[in-house]
Structure 1
Amino acid sequence: MMKKKVLLFLAILTVQVGISQTIDKVKLDTYFNVLEVNNKFMGSVALMKDGEIVYANQIGFSDIETKKKPDDNTKYRIGSISKTFTATLVFKAIEEGRIKLEQTIENYFPSVRNSSEITIADLLNHRSGIYNFTNDEVYLSYNTEHKSEEELLSIISEYESAFEPNTKSEYSNSNYVLLSFILEKLYNKSFAEILREKIVHPIGLKNTYFGGKIDIEKNEANSYKGDWEIQTETDMSIPLGAGGIISDPSDILLFAEALFNHKIVSEERVTQMQTLKDNYGMGLFKMPFYEKYSFGHTGGIDGFSSMFGYFPEEKSAFALTSNGTNFNNNDIAIALLSALFNRDFTVPSFETYKVSSDDLEVYLGIYSSPSFPLKITITKSGAILVAQATGQPSFSLDATEKDKFKFDQAGVVMEFDTKNNQMTLKQGGGVFVLAKE
């Protein structure tokens, strides 16, 4: 499933720090080795400085059944990072005079609600009001099946509008599926052909193309979740330019370097892509790292997750592609950028604190606070503590010391004060004290 949420880097300090002349590759290698041996992350990462790849690493398995290890040419589904490629293709079409940002889409999709008011710019900026069809629970009943343009248009058109066009921004995969169809009509070619002719071949990408059924013989990775259970494959006829591209970190960085140095579209168009409305650019998000900032995107589809960011002022960038993670990718990105910008970072420790089922009894219950929007229900499964927020899936917690538990994948820490019947929840810099009901 294509994810709709975007994790942004923590921006804590505002001191000036220059880029290190060397990357602490030994410490980064240690960092990723610890993730690998603890089954926390499988995938590939890369760092760029001044247009050159200065660090790359691959860990885990690209296919667990055959024990196939990834290498620097292993390819991953990159999910919504595809949107950055698609937005670039739209601006390429604009520069070729094939389409305009301000034109509406009713001639392409008269069945879509408010199509006479929705512009190309609205689609790019997630300001169309078109409902995100992947949010519907029924999506998972057909996402592995091939869908034609007619079928997808029927699905997207049946939903009521989420809001009036250009009144706010709200992430919707529907926008970029429609942009994919528009590109195919403008060029009278498949999205795969357009991507290849307009981006991949001109800038010399080796491992980037529109995806199909995963083929491990072509060094494409399968994806996994949890205890590395293999995931089903979304049929790529559905995400198209919203999430259907395959690539690797080095190719993503080469694409970013070409884009932000105006080798694909002009500086004017890149500036338009970077311009934010309600925190959304056109195929880009702005992501801070301390006093610096990058433009990039995140992605998630099936068991794959990905992230990239390009720092225009420093001409530096990072990318990660994963086919399985039980860790917070945002923390991995922070470690990569800390190495790139000569900041200290900590190699994680996964030592656990032994608890029995009886030990967990004192924590069980429902915790809430007027200042926190959700209730947290704490239960147990054997000797494992389990948390579930209102309307969210449950997740297992790892004990790290007495009264302290964590969930690495979401960066969650829970500290219990059993005497006062309270629990302190820490996530993403936020600290919330919840009381047991």
Structure 2
Amino acid sequence: MNIIHERNKIERHIESLKASEEFNGSVLVAAHGDIILAKGYGLASVELGAANQRETVYRIGSVSKPITAAAILTLVQQGRLRITDSVTTYLPVYPQWSKITIEHLLTHRSGIPNLVMLADFPQFSLQPHTLDELMAPFSALPLNFEPGTQFEYTNSGYILLGKVIEAISGMNYAEYVQQHVFLSAGMEHTRLDDSRTIVPNCASGYEYDSSGRMIRASYIDMSNVHAAGGFLSTIDDLYRLDRALRHHRLFDHHLLQSMNAQHFQPYGYGWFHTSFPVLFHHGGINGFTSTFIRHLEQDFTVIALSNRVTPNTAALGLRLMEMLIEG
């Protein structure tokens, strides 16, 4: 691979999208362990005219799910959890979930209704909630289907995984992930967002109204997404996660194979894999969109984080991965 040629080709593509206001954010592209490009485009704050940088911090939405899945697998590595265990092994106060396994939660095959799709969630999400309060609305509902029989993407399952992590470890979720994932991976700028703490270099989020006019993002208290979508991160920190996974710094080769394997379509342990060996996850949360794409065999990685709600972030990531594969 001619890195200079690839960098020029990639930069031209991103710059064309920036010029037409189709992308605004930060992008990292790497091949075989070498970073080809890592930089910001557009504005982190429209009001202040502050530019996005390589170091800019973004809400990553559901790109948080691979982090939660990795945290679960560290518990497997420690011998404190088995993927085939029932949720009630660790949370006996929820007997209605006795047929749901940890694997069902990881792969969105639990049947638990998706909290964010409930009719009152927009109003509910404006106020802070404890983890137990967050689980209350969906723990009272019947399952949508028999566990293990269907795929239905749901934030509720990953919120529940956060609760399992707390029950087993005796730590709160954020502390456990910090100690057992972020420290091992060298992720110094990733944290669970609480909507209140001032975070240096953090971008402001934007959306578009029905007329296409850019507006400030609608409010959400970040306690309402928790382990399903609550992290702030940077392109470099997510790349550090990629390297930590590839080099078995979080758990051993056997567990990494389990995480990456095509257990079910279209979702494994924290990753979509509809075009295996390419794993990916997209994210979207008020004001922000993200994508994290990894080619397992070629060791290609593409990360794009944006402080605007737009499908262009995912489309950009997929196109950049195609460009790497095409060479």
* TM-score (structure 1 length as normaliser): 0.69
Q: Contact 1:113 / 1:161 at 8 angstroms: preserved in 2? A: no
Name segments (4+ residues, structure 1) moved above 3 Å: 19-24, 107-114, 214-217
Q: Contact 2:192 / 2:232 at 8 angstroms: preserved in 1? A: yes
Is 1:243 the equivalent of 2:229? Answer: yes
Is 1:283 the equivalent of 2:288? Answer: no
The structure where helix makes up a greater share of residues is: 2
2:285 partner letter? I
Alignment of 1:92-107 (within 5 A): 92-107=74-89
Q: Please give the alpha-carbon distance, in whole angstroms, between the structure 1 residues aligned to 2:325 and 2:187.
A: 26
Equivalent of 2:71, from 85, 89, 93? 89
Using the TM superposition, give the Cα deviation of residue 21 of structure 1 relative to its aligned residue in structure 2, in angstroms.
4.2
The structure where strand makes up a greater share of residues is: 1
Distance 1:127 1:342, change over 3 A: closer
Alignment of 1:186-197 (within 5 A): 186-197=168-179
Is 1:298 the equivalent of 2:282? Answer: yes
Structure with bigger gyration radius: 1
Q: Please give the alpha-carbon distance, in whole angstroms, between the structure 2 residues aligned to 1:145 and 1:219.
A: 25
Q: Please give the alpha-carbon distance, in whole angstroms, between the structure 2 residues aligned to 1:330 and 1:246.
A: 18
1:133 partner letter? L
Using the TM superposition, give the Cα deviation of residue 115 of structure 1 relative to its aligned residue in structure 2, in angstroms.
1.2
1:307 partner letter? T
2:22 partner letter? K
**How far does the alpha carbon of each residue in 1:342-397 deviate from its partner, in whole angstroms, 9 at most, with x for none?**
55xxxxxxxxxxxxxxxxxxxxxxxxxxxxxxxxxxxxxxxxxxxxxxxxxxxxxx
Is 1:207 the equivalent of 2:193? Answer: no
Distance 1:326 1:134, change over 3 A: closer
SS, match of residue 305 in structure 1? strand
1:277 partner letter? F
1:61 counterpart residue number: 43
* TM-score (structure 2 length as normaliser): 0.91
The more displaced of 86-95 and 324-333 is 324-333
Q: Please give the alpha-carbon distance, in whole angstroms, between the structure 2 residues aligned to 1:330 and 1:300.
A: 10
Distance 1:29 1:286, change over 3 A: same
Using the TM superposition, give the Cα deviation of residue 176 of structure 1 relative to its aligned residue in structure 2, in angstroms.
0.5
Using the TM superposition, give the Cα deviation of residue 338 of structure 1 relative to its aligned residue in structure 2, in angstroms.
4.0
Q: Report % sequence identity.
A: 28
Alignment of 1:43-192 (within 5 A): 43-110=25-92, 112=94, 114-192=96-174
2:302 partner letter? F
1:197 partner letter? Q
Q: Please give the alpha-carbon distance, in whole angstroms, between the structure 1 residues aligned to 2:307 and 2:231.
A: 14
Give unpaired runs (5+ residues) of structure 1: 1-18, 344-437
Alignment of 1:304-319 (within 5 A): 304-319=288-303
Q: Please give the alpha-carbon distance, in whole angstroms, between the structure 2 residues aligned to 1:217 and 1:162.
A: 39
Using the TM superposition, give the Cα deviation of residue 278 of structure 1 relative to its aligned residue in structure 2, in angstroms.
3.0
Q: Please give the alpha-carbon distance, in whole angstroms, between the structure 2 residues aligned to 1:208 and 1:23.
A: 32
Using the TM superposition, give the Cα deviation of residue 207 of structure 1 relative to its aligned residue in structure 2, in angstroms.
1.8
2:250 counterpart residue number: 264
Q: Contact 1:234 / 1:302 at 8 angstroms: preserved in 2? A: yes
Using the TM superposition, give the Cα deviation of residue 52 of structure 1 relative to its aligned residue in structure 2, in angstroms.
2.5
Q: Please give the alpha-carbon distance, in whole angstroms, between the structure 1 residues aligned to 2:89 and 2:9.
A: 55
Q: Contact 1:41 / 1:325 at 8 angstroms: preserved in 2? A: no
1:359 counterpart residue number: none
Using the TM superposition, give the Cα deviation of residue 39 of structure 1 relative to its aligned residue in structure 2, in angstroms.
2.1
| Count of matched residue positions in the alignment of Structure 1 and Structure 2 | 322
Q: Please give the alpha-carbon distance, in whole angstroms, between the structure 2 residues aligned to 1:109 and 1:204.
A: 31
Distance 1:243 1:96, change over 3 A: same
Give unpaired runs (5+ residues) of structure 2: none
Q: Please give the alpha-carbon distance, in whole angstroms, between the structure 2 residues aligned to 1:314 and 1:145.
A: 44
Using the TM superposition, give the Cα deviation of residue 287 of structure 1 relative to its aligned residue in structure 2, in angstroms.
4.5
Q: Please give the alpha-carbon distance, in whole angstroms, between the structure 2 residues aligned to 1:278 and 1:334.
A: 19
Q: Contact 1:40 / 1:325 at 8 angstroms: preserved in 2? A: no
